[in-house]
Amino acid sequence: MKIVLYGNPTLRVKSAEVDKVDDDLRKTLDEMVELMRSANGVGLAANQVDIPKRFFVLEVEGNVKKVVNPEIIESGEEMVEFEEGCLSIPGVYKKVTRPEKIKVKYLDENGEEKVEELTEMWSRAFQHELDHLDGILFTDRISVLNKRLVAKKLEILKKDYNIFLLYFLLQYYLQLCI
């Protein structure tokens, strides 16, 4: 399991619902928690590890949430601005405006339904990760000016991804030739 970077098409996919919370999923969630920690992240969505399914993990101040088939059922009116980054877009940090408070519904790792009100970092991270599951990146939500400022960095990341893909295909082709 590894984190896919900007340019990878899985990051733009609207991920599919999970039909069953089973041991395989629990194992994947555990692996994602480990990976998120080793990357010093507060959240990691399934499509960031190339699995186009609706689940993610969060960790705020040492507390972990494993979230399956999440939904936001209510959003507060108060909007707040906060600087975000993303493990799939290294080196880019920009302010994003989102509702401060949300009410959410999801299944936990035992398949039990949870309804919670989230604020501050939990709310922020939940919204960022849920966007991932819909193929939305935080850079889609930044101001026009900031979009212009990060355009070059994003272009370089995309180029890196294409070079990686080309290298991978070339290796595959050479293997076929041998």
Binding mask 86-105 for Zn ion (x = CB under 5 A): x-------------------
**Span near Zn ion by CB under 5 A; candidates 23-31, 82-90, 103-111, 149-157:** 82-90
Of the residues 77, 109, 129, 155, only one is catalytic, namely 129
Q: How far is the CB of 159 from Zn ion (least distance, A)?
A: 20
Q: How many residues bind Zn ion (CB under 5 A)?
A: 1
Helices (H), 9-119: 23-38
Q: How far is the CB of 132 from Zn ion (least distance, A)?
A: 6
Residues 6+ apart with CB under 8 A from 90: 5, 157
- CB of 47 closer than 8 Å to CB of 10: yes
* C-beta of 28 vs 132, nearer to Zn ion: 132
Q: How far is the CB of 72 from Zn ion (least distance, A)?
A: 17
129 carries an active-site annotation: yes
- CB of 85 closer than 8 Å to CB of 92: yes
* C-beta of 43 vs 99, nearer to Zn ion: 43
3-class DSSP assignment, residue 63: strand
* C-beta of 6 vs 106, nearer to Zn ion: 6
Nearest to residue 157, comparing CAs of 11, 2, 8, 55? 8
| Cα 110 to Cα 45: distance, rounded to the nearest angstrom | 18
- Residues interacting with Zn ion, by CB under 5 A? 86
